[in-house]
Amino acid sequence: MSMKVAMLAPIAWRTPPRHYGPWESVVSLLTEGLVAQGLSVTLFATADSITAGELAAVCSKGYEEDNSIDAGVWSCMHISAIFERAEEFDLIHNHFDFRPLSYSRLVKTPVITTIHGFSSSKILPIYKKYNDNSYYISISDADRSKELTYARTIHHGIDLQQFHFNDSPEDYLLFFGRIHHDKGTAEAIKIAAATNSRLVIAGIIQDEDYYRSEVEPHIDNNRVQYIGSVGPEQRNRVLGNARALLHPINFDEPFGLSVIEAMACGTPVIAYSRGSMREIIADGETGYLVPASVEAAAEKIALLYKIVRRRCRDHIEERFTVSRMVTDYIDTYEGILSKGKA
């Protein structure tokens, strides 16, 4: 089935992101995968974005990359741009959270929304309002709301060519993600200290106060090192060289790209068993799921020798590739369009 897809990316960062930008990363992988399968895709993203499809942009750069850009103003202009062209497309695929839903009843084009996570239960009313005319995709079964109807759960996939298998890691543990209480940076520091392990921290500082009080005092560039946000090449090396990724999250995480990226490099993950982690990590095979305690996570460091790193890579090849994600979305698109023609 040939189809024209309008892909609405967020505009916090470029698509694909230079460093951080998980939603933009997924949108880019999906867009390029769809184009490679012969679909006509117009990517609505920032003007500096890169795609093999057609790029449509009203915002010059991501508002997180240029503080002269007002996020509210340009978000409205960005969303309106795609809906003003709705009749040109067979479907609109929204990755820009809840605001685009308010346009969905004003156009005849089907709107599919990938819900990349709920920032708060306070946003559920708008999803409930448009539940009967929208198609919702959850990124994990754990992130589903009982108050909504979903077309499907589609786990994220990654481009395995960007992640090289490494069976000879160095002697450090890794925290990889935004520095924020939700992601458990402080807990990772405590886990490493409890096992007398070296810890490397990589990621953007999302909460400055948290960083200054809970993280920065421990950084000595010896036992604890902070290397900032890293791009694709350094990400591959840092993930692959780690003995394990520490993922002691303090919230029910909807997915967790760094988790599958680490395992793609052969690196096992020790994670608090919350949110989607049970769907992503094979406990005892590709890492360990533990109760939310520093002590429980620290106990698993001594058991890392039992994890076969090749099994971690195999797990991702079997379940979390970009090709699988693209196929799942194409099947979903075709199902939605077939309903409209019935």
**Over residues 172-195, mean pLDDT:** 98
Query: Is the same domain home to 183 and 230?
Result: yes
Query: Residue 239 above 50 pLDDT?
Result: yes
Q: What are phi and psi of 263, to 5 degrees?
A: -65, -30
Say if residue 11 is in the same domain as residue 108.
Answer: yes
Q: Each residue of 207-231: pLDDT tens digit?
A: 999 999 999 999 999 999 999 999 8
Verify that 271 and 150 share a domain, yes or no: no
Q: Does one domain contain both 104 and 244?
A: no
Please report which confidence band the pLDDT of residue 242 belongs to, taking 50, 70 and 90 as the band edges.
Answer: very high
Q: What CA–CA distances, in Å, run from 232 to 52, 166, 204, 312?
A: 19, 16, 14, 20
What's the one-letter identity of residue 236? Answer: N
Q: How confident is the model at residue 340 (pLDDT cuts 50, 70, 90)?
A: low
Cα 142 vs. chain centroid, distance in angstroms? 15
237 — pLDDT class (breaks 50, 70, 90): very high
A 10 A CB-CB count for 223 gives: 15
Alpha helix (H) residue ranges in the chain: 22-36, 71-83, 124-129, 185-194, 208-210, 232-241, 257-264, 277-280, 294-301, 309-319, 322-341
Residues 246 and 311 grouped into a single domain: yes
Residues 309 and 330 in one domain: no
DSSP letter for 12, please.
Answer: S
* For residue 123, pLDDT beyond 90: yes
> What's the token pair of residue 4?
């024209």
**What are residue 176's DSSP bridge partners?**
202
266 pLDDT higher than 70: yes
Residues 278 and 307 in one domain: yes
Regarding whether 222 and 153 lie in a shared domain, the answer is no
Q: How confident is the model at residue 21 (pLDDT cuts 50, 70, 90)?
A: confident
Average pLDDT (113-126) is: 93
pLDDT (0 to 100) of residue 155: 98
Q: What is the mean pLDDT of residues 309-327?
A: 98
Same domain, 106 and 147: yes
DSSP state of 38: T
225: domain CATH number? 3.40.50.2000
From 116, 64, 58, select the one nearest 82 (Cα to Cα). Answer: 58
Whether residue 1 is predicted with pLDDT greater than 70 in this model: the reply is no
Whether residues 142 and 265 fall in one domain: no
Q: Give pLDDT, residue 339.
A: 81
Q: Tell me how many domains the chain contains.
A: 2
Nearest to 312 by CA among 290, 289, 282: 282
Q: What is the pLDDT of residue 341?
A: 45
pLDDT of residue 342: 34
Q: List, in sequence order, every residue forming a beta bridge with 290; answer none if it has no partner.
A: 272
CA distance 19 to 21: 7
153/173 same-domain check: no
For range 144-165, the mean pLDDT: 97
Q: Whole-number mean pLDDT of the chain?
A: 96
The model's pTM: 0.94
Average of pLDDT values for 90-99?
A: 97
Confidence at residue 20, expressed as pLDDT on a 0 to 100 scale: 86
341 versus 134: the higher-pLDDT residue is 134
Mean pLDDT calculated for residue range 50-77: 96
CA distances from 181 to 234, 249, 251, 255 (A): 24, 8, 9, 17
Q: Tell me, yes or no, whether 232 and 281 share the same domain.
A: yes
What is the pLDDT, as a whole number, of residue 246?
98
Length of the chain: 342
- Domain, as residue range, for 116: 4-157+321-341
103, 128, 140, 284 from 150: Cα distances, Å: 19, 11, 11, 31
The SS3 of residue 234 is helix
Q: Which of 130, 84, 124 is nearest to 107 (CA)?
A: 84
